[in-house]
């Protein structure tokens, strides 16, 4: 059977590692489902989701140099509504970031430079004070 990227096939889990699971597809070819492609939620241990011998539906993501990348989570058809909500969640996160950035007053380059110089002077004086106190004392210069 020819392997087509983007197609969904049934396969059998033949091995589990800490980084994913090997799945044998029809025709005897084997591909890897990376741990990040096992489920939509965070996967700490593949054994929590799969066991050797399981029959799973996988989607062929890519095929490069004889290595086949598979995905279980992409093989599951989500209803269009779920996809839309997922996308909106990402958009809301991005808009929050943009809003927080817009709350800051616009500073000119000169203001930014002045603030930078002030903080760097403070940092340098703090560093100088802490290194000066460490000099001398026991184990100082021997001569």
pLDDT digits (tens, 9 = 90+) for 58-69: 999 999 998 999
Pick the CATH number of 8-71 from 3.30.67.10, 2.40.50.100, 2.40.50.140, 1.10.1740.10: 2.40.50.140
Q: Can you give the pTM of this predicted structure? A: 0.55
Tokens 């598979």 correspond to what residue?
70
3-state SS, residue 28 = coil
pLDDT of residue 88: 64
Tokens 């007053």 correspond to what residue?
105
DSSP state of 106: P
Separation between Cα atoms, residue 46 and residue 23, nearest integer Å: 13
Tokens 């110089």 correspond to what residue?
117
Q: Domain segments of the chain: what residues?
A: 8-71
Q: Is 39 exposed, middle or buried (0-12, 13-18, 19+ CB in 10 A)?
A: middle
| pLDDT tens-digit readout, 2-13 | 678 889 999 999
Average pLDDT over residues 118-139: 80
pLDDT of residue 76: 86
């Amino acid at each position: 059977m020819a392997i087509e990227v983007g197609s969904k096939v049934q396969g059998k889990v033949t091995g589990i590692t800490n980084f994913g699971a090997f799945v044998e597809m029809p025709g005897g070819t084997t591909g890897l489902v990376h741990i990040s492609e096992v489920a939509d939620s965070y996967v700490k241990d593949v054994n929590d989701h799969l066991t050797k011998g399981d029959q799973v539906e996988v989607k062929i993501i890519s095929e490069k140099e004889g290595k086949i990348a598979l995905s279980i989570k992409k093989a599951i058809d989500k209803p269009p509504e779920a996809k839309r909500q997922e996308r909106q969640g990402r958009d809301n996160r991005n808009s929050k970031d943009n809003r927080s950035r817009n709350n800051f007053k616009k500073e000119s380059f000169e203001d930014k430079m002045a603030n930078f110089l002030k903080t760097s002077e403070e940092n340098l004086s703090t560093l100088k004070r802490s290194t000066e106190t460490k000099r001398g004392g026991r184990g100082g210069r021997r001569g």
